[in-house]
Structure 1
């Protein structure tokens, strides 16, 4: 999947995001988590927090900030998304500086894997604290009042903090061998929660615009929206990814067309 994403044309606006859609239990979450060992990844799970046994666990503070309140005005959604990504990239840059201070990592893959391990330490405590700082920074600016009248496009403020994060990555690792590849991968698991209800504006669409790349060359940042059910969006320029590790396994244990539904429903198959 990572090779396919790196091969995509990511040089035009709205071309740096894709939907990953498949049924439950087909390895979507596992696949993007394994990918985080290869490319620097900022992971999110915005599942509705009413499934205590669901895996992987949700990032509650992110869900609360992005999904709990309905977006009634498009402008409010733009501010919410832009503030989130501005503070996200800023706080992640600070965390990268802290974690890798005084070191030089040999390869982008090793760098990504060590970052992933950092976020999973102590049961995800570092990840939780990082996202708490992001949301606290967002709330400090008084989102409830909305954007100031006559303000510039909110997403314009995302680019400087993304540049700061990229500078932090280049400081601790040499990316010249993968110059055209994605440097920062984001994914939102359970992304249908960003769609909201039948009323109001969809933060899912607004977030694509906030992260849209309009710089020279291929976008260094890419976002994957992971879900079992995600309505099509006209803003997506990339075809949705529907093949997962479950579909692509080279040796299926059951031959295609050789078993009836009744046979597959028996206990020894289900077990």
Structure 2
């Protein structure tokens, strides 16, 4: 099974058009007064959420973080999960501090890595999509079921180490309140944690993000993706339901703190995506009357609508008029296995290619079980049965 899952991730990507790029383009051009530039993608497992973002990462610079269980794929980023889990037990000020310092470190380390990648290119060959694709490749190299490759492990080891180091410095500033400023605006202001670098220059989430996006903005764009979306950077939180959980009465969910940090950089060409397989849209997009933010509760600021539609049947053979299809072909296991969520079809093909009959048979049985379960629960549960909230026209199915 592990080999089949890993092989399925490497199957050629097929889709009905770059929907995610179109949606983000609409969102980036939206002039409404948004709380922050983020949206959730909530759907069942195997529907291609992670792969869809990974494919766009070939064109737009994307920093992926996998927060799922150790049995998830893509694998868990252990250092990041450990950092977030250790942040849950702090008080409100400490949680805000640790989240902001993590994002500061994330932007700083990413900028350092981008500069190294850029130095490998000749000036004529360097492009934003080329750098994005190269960074994605490095972050994916060596990825197996249960672990990432050396580059990605070292990347997040450096990020978490840097965040922890500056956290010790900032803790003293936080206690004396000399390291906190406030952003103007209505409602409760967001505390801004500031630390100093080796040159005694103040660093905040905003300045660290500006440094990275300013560098990326200087790199030529030779792809339509960056130009169409007006977007330089995507933050990808995979299996992000970890951020909405609280382990016990002494622990608090981190998502409000992450969202506040994103609010500080909402004027920059950065967009965050929170992917989740938990079928509850309200975990990242609660109704305004239940939102923890007073500014959203009073409609002073608004969130972006969640994304709930992902393509299905993309790996199935198309029934067209130029070929006569028999009932045997249409009803065959091979054809039916390629309908529905892409993961089943990709695993089916991967197992077939490796001659693994055991996995091949298991996939068919598992799909039948899931189908029977959905038939029983369809009226009540399942993200695809949930009413779709108001969303841009680009989210509609092209079929």
| TM surpasses 0.5 | yes
Q: In structure 1, what is the Cα distance between the partners aligned to 2:86 and 2:166?
A: 19
Structure 2 residue corresponding to 1:222, chosen from 234, 249, 271: 271
Structure 2: give runs of 5+ residues left out of the alignment. Answer: 1-19, 144-148, 182-190, 195-203, 294-301, 320-334, 341-362, 370-399
Tell me if 1:207 matches 2:228.
no
Partner of 1:181 in structure 2?
230
Secondary structure of the corresponding residue to residue 90 of structure 1: helix
Structure 2 residue corresponding to 1:89, chosen from 86, 100, 107: 107
Q: In structure 1, what is the Cα distance between the partners aligned to 2:213 and 2:61?
A: 11
Tell me if 1:170 matches 2:217.
yes
Tell me if 1:100 matches 2:166.
no
Structure 1 residue corresponding to 2:151, chosen from 107, 126, 140: 126
Partner of 1:37 in structure 2?
58
Q: In structure 1, what is the Cα distance between the partners aligned to 2:262 and 2:241?
A: 18
Q: How many residues align?
A: 258
Instruction: Give the direction of change, closer, same or farther, for the CA distance of 1:213–1:79 in structure 2 (3 Å limit).
Output: closer
TM-score, length basis structure 1: 0.81
Structure 2 residue corresponding to 1:241, chosen from 296, 307, 317: 307
Structure 2 residue corresponding to 1:148, chosen from 175, 199, 208: 175
Secondary structure of the corresponding residue to residue 154 of structure 1: strand
Instruction: Give the direction of change, closer, same or farther, for the CA distance of 1:21–1:269 in structure 2 (3 Å limit).
Output: closer
Q: CA deviation at 1:148?
A: 3.1
- Aligned runs of 1:15-54 on 2, under 5 Å? 15-49=36-70, 51=71, 54=72
Q: Is the 8 A contact 2:118 2:126 kept in 1?
A: no
Q: In structure 2, what is the Cα distance between the partners aligned to 1:125 and 1:266?
A: 35
Q: CA deviation at 1:170?
A: 3.0
Q: Deviations over 1:77-108 (max 9, x none)?
A: 11011000111101110111111116334543
RMSD of aligned C-alpha atoms? 3.3
Larger radius of gyration: 2
Q: CA deviation at 1:62?
A: 0.4
Structure 1: give runs of 5+ residues left out of the alignment. Answer: 257-264
Instruction: Give the direction of change, closer, same or farther, for the CA distance of 1:267–1:42 in structure 2 (3 Å limit).
Output: closer
